[in-house]
Amino acid sequence: MRPTALFVSGINADHMPEGLHEDRARLHGLPPPSIEAVRAAAERNRHLARPQIRWLAEMLEDGRSYLLGDKPCIADFAGYHVVWFYRGRHIDCRAEFDPYPRIMAWRDRMAAIGHGQRTEMTPDEALAVARQASPATPRKSDPQDGDPRPGERARVRPADNARDWTEGEVLFIDPEEIALLRSDPEVGEVAVHFPRLGYDWRKQR
């Protein structure tokens, strides 16, 4: 996803929402980039994205409907959200898939799955629903040696270049997941769930 995001957003550097490049740089602890730097990153990352597109095409070469067989699985959804990112910007980057008709056919099959039953609402309506809801009763925790226990304070962030922590009370923890209970003035009490893999945590004193 990262090479794709840098490629597509860089190609569209002049058309992205104001402040987006600065926000993404801050997320990774980097200084705000110039438009020229963003454009240069697009070209570098185009050459990182293209081999991975070819890998997807190779998985579909034998005529299978989905990446691992006849039915969609988590691999398809992990790949599809990246392929989806190539569309819908001011400068459309979907031409990268033109040499690979099987990817385009797979993309269309994935898109046809749809989004289930949904109801449109305004941002204010969504926040009101969140304020009126309460976190579900958590499953039984299974903390490992050294883990914070339910009820203790902890903070979590992605284990890459991210600098911003999410802080709260441990609601649930097991070898694969940690959930923090937080109170926010806009949405009230919410449980924020994080996978253990790829994330870092610290106890709060």
* Tens-place pLDDT, residues 22-81: 887 877 777 888 889 888 999 999 999 999 999 999 999 999 999 999 999 999 999 999
pLDDT of residue 160: 77
pLDDT of residue 88: 67
Residues 152, 131, single domain; the answer is yes
> Which strands form 199-203's sheet, in the order they lie side by side?
188-195, 177-184, 166-173, 153-158, 199-203
- Using the predicted structure, report yes or no on whether residue 163 has a pLDDT greater than 80: no
pTM score > 0.75 for this model?
A: no
Residues 37, 82, single domain; the answer is yes
Residues 103, 10, single domain; the answer is yes
On whether residue 119 sits in a domain, the answer given is no
Reported for 90-96, long-range contacts at CB under 8 A and 24+ positions apart, including other chains, are 90/12, 90/15, 91/11, 91/12, 91/15, 93/7, 93/8, 93/11, 96/49, 96/50, 96/53
Which pLDDT tens digit goes with each residue over 187-205?
899 999 999 999 998 888 7
Q: Which of 55, 80, 112 is the last residue of a domain?
A: 112
On whether residue 23 sits in a domain, the answer given is yes
Q: Which of 81, 112, 143 is the last residue of a domain?
A: 112
Specify the number of domains making up the chain. Answer: 2
Q: At 133, which CATH number? A: 3.40.30.110
Angle at 107 between CA 84 and CA 39, to 5 degrees: 35
Residues 108, 130, single domain; the answer is no
Instruction: Please give the average per-residue pLDDT across 1-20, as a whole number.
Output: 87
Q: Which of 112, 133, 154 is the last residue of a domain?
A: 112
**From CA 205, how far away is CA 195, in angstroms rounded?**
22
Which pLDDT tens digit goes with each residue over 78-128?
999 999 999 867 888 999 999 999 999 999 999 999 988 888 999 999 999
Written as six digits, the tokens of 74 are 């988590």
On whether residue 177 sits in a domain, the answer given is yes
On whether residue 118 sits in a domain, the answer given is no
Q: What is the DSSP code (8-state) at residue 69?
A: B
- Using the predicted structure, report yes or no on whether residue 19 has a pLDDT greater than 90: no
Residues 88, 65, single domain; the answer is yes
Domain holding 147, by residue range, is: 124-203
**From CA 148, how far away is CA 179, in angstroms rounded?**
11
